[in-house]
Amino acid sequence: MFSESILAFNRFKMKNIKTLSAAALFVALFTTSCNDVLEEYNPSGLTAEAVYSTPEGFESLVNAAYSYQRWWYGKEEGFNMTEMGTDIWISAAGDVWPDLTTYTNLQGTNAPITTEWRELYAAINLTNAGINRIEEAGFTPSMRSQREAELRFLRAFYYYHIVETWGGVHFTLEESQGIITTANKTPVDTFYDQILTDLDFAVANLSTTTSDYGRVTKPAAMAFLARIYLTRKMYNEASQMAESVINGGFGYELVSNYADLWDMGNNQNSEIVYAVNYAENLTLNDLRNSSTNPLGHGRGSNNGHLHFLMKYDNLPGMTRAIEYGRPFNRYMPTRAFLDLFSEEDSRYEGSFMEVWYANSTNTPAGMAVGDTAVVATRSTFTGSPGHVYQVYNRNDIYNENGTVRDNLRYPTLTKHMDNTRSSANEAQSSRDAFVIRFAELYLIAAEAQMFLGDKQSAADLINVVRTRAAKPGMEEAMKITAEEVTLDFILDERAREFAGEQLRWFDLKRTEKLVERVLSLNPDVTRVEAFHLIRPIPQAQLDAVTNRDEFVQHQGYQ
């Protein structure tokens, strides 16, 4: 797997490079004041020029460029920035960044915003370095095209996350040499012109398949390009590109049972077009490694399994266990989100857990190990006659207006759970983070066709996804007609399909529905305005630049 390739980079870099890496140079200013002196120590005497002028050395750069995806996908900071502050999730008791979740006093001092800015720009600098140095790497022509295509995809990938998150901020195609003292404000169109250019190159030059799981392929770049086209309202291009992946004979197909997507034994399956790969050997995922990432610590493995879990382990008959997870209790579903699933739709049971079975010998009278101990349900179920188990139904969890009554107990999202962890307290998971699933291509094409005026084609595409989601015998009941296709329906469908997969905030922003849907469906948020469609620039970055009259905070933020 590709994680082992990243390990090769780690070993190479720890052995040969003890100086500040090329990836870190742009953000050196971000982490030091303008009066500080950056000291570098290089006991080996090797320089970036020497290392990156050999194929082995250059491979270390490419592998490192991939690794920065792990700062966003499968991480709490990334979940907060993509799932919270939307219409489908609300703060549970353990939410640690309510400013980001509710837009209340959200400023550039927010920790996830600061971390992601730093790491995304480190990634941009590394991809710029690679693209501009690749001629000297000593590759064969075919390998050079492949590696440059990977780097261009990654630069587009990182710039997409930057421009969608922060709007028209700093943009450069050059590797930073030394400490940079200024930053620029660049129009959003400039970002996207380059993103499209880089993705066109990637699609033209990437291999169709890879034996090194985790590397980007031609169809993965096509799928991401379809997402970009949709974001830019280029609907003809979005539809054509999405359907080119669907009908391209690349071997992708929907997993027949939705719940099977989340089985740890099915981590690599026919529906995954692109994923951020995590290694089963958790030491390869850089929990603590100052050599491979001198500016940040704590990247580590996938930790998504921690955040969506209700607090179950202090209830009668229950103790913390691998199969039920370690409950950080960060995020819980809005009542409106739970109500989106019909009885015919298998995705509710395939996404949420409502029943916990007694696993402690210290059980109440009338309860044995293996009996039902806790029910937390979206329904009004109050328990069977004479029951001894705990029940938390929709009226226990939510008030009549949808606000939260109990932020400790609620239906639990199971998509990220990992029953292969070594212990109940293990916070690291080897689960891959799915970035693009095959199902998304159908919904991208459907949304594009709706805007092009062909609602029947849109319905046909949506029905492919809904038929897979149907419970046995309910396939026809799950199908929709052309008249039912609306933008809100598509957003509802994307919520049912992709909840918790780090897409939601981008979906609401792309469709210009963030303010409307959050205010109407998430009662935890009482104020969200148009300026919240971009995040504040980190205050540390504003403080560090010398052109503070030009590189200023976004309007609406202090």
From CA 491, how far away is CA 487, in angstroms rounded? 6
| Amino acid 74: pLDDT | 96
CA distance 212 to 228: 25
Give the global pTM.
0.92
SS3 319: coil
d(C-alpha 273, C-alpha 271), whole Å: 6
40 — pLDDT class (breaks 50, 70, 90): very low
pLDDT of residue 286: 73
Cα–Cα distance, 414 to 325 (Å, whole number): 9
pLDDT in the model for residue 177: 81
Q: State residue 15's pLDDT score.
A: 25
* pLDDT of amino acid 46: 53
pLDDT reported for residue 287:
66
Token pair listed for 547:
């052109």
For the chain, the residue count is 558
State pLDDT tens for residues 130-151.
Answer: 999 999 999 999 999 999 999 9
Position 382 scores a pLDDT of 98
Q: What mean pLDDT do residues 378-392 have? A: 97
| Rounded (10°) angle between helices 2-16 and 55-67 | 120
Tell me the Cα Rg of the chain.
Answer: 24
For 484-517, the pLDDT digits (tens) are: 999 999 999 999 999 999 999 999 999 999 999 9
Stretch 178-185: mean pLDDT: 91
Structure token pair of residue 105: 């006093």
- Tens of pLDDT, residue by residue over 91-113, are 999 999 999 999 999 999 999 99
pLDDT at 26 over 50: no
Residue 163 confidence (pLDDT) above 50: yes
Q: What is the pLDDT of residue 290?
A: 52
Tokens of 192: 């996207």
Question: Could you tell me the pLDDT band of residue 289, with boundaries at 50, 70 and 90?
Answer: low
| pLDDT at position 49 | 75
Q: Is the pLDDT of residue 306 over 80?
A: yes
Band of residue 288 on the pLDDT scale cut at 50, 70, 90: low
pLDDT for position 543:
96
User: Would you say residue 368 has pLDDT above 50?
Assistant: yes
pLDDT value at 35 more than 80? no
Q: Please compute the mean of the pLDDT values over residues 235-251 and round it to a whole number.
A: 98
6 pLDDT tier (thresholds 50, 70, 90)? very low
Asked if the model's pLDDT at residue 12 lies above 50, the reply is: no
> In this model, does residue 293 exceed pLDDT 60?
no
Stretch (H or E) spanning 89: strand 89-91
Could you give the CA distance from residue 387 to residue 391 in angstroms, rounded to a whole number?
A: 9
pLDDT at 535 over 80: yes
What is the pLDDT at residue 353? 98
Q: Is the pLDDT of residue 44 over 60?
A: no
The per-residue pLDDT for range 46-56, each reduced to its tens digit, is 567 777 889 99
Cα(279)–Cα(114) distance, rounded to whole angstroms? Answer: 26
Check residue 150 and give its pLDDT: 98
pLDDT higher than threshold 70 for residue 279: yes
From the list 120, 115, 130, the residue with the least C-alpha distance to 175 is 130
Query: Average pLDDT over the chain, rounded to whole?
Result: 91
Distance between CA atoms of residues 369 and 372, nearest Å: 9
Q: pLDDT-based confidence at 42, cuts 50/70/90? A: very low
- The CA dihedral of 343, 345, 346, 348, to the nearest 10 degrees, is -80
pLDDT in tens, 310-334: 999 999 999 999 999 999 999 999 9
| Residue of 178 and 388 predicted with greater confidence | 388
Q: Residue 141: which residues within 8 A CB-CB, separation 6 or more?
A: none
69-89 pLDDT, tens per residue? 999 999 999 999 999 999 999
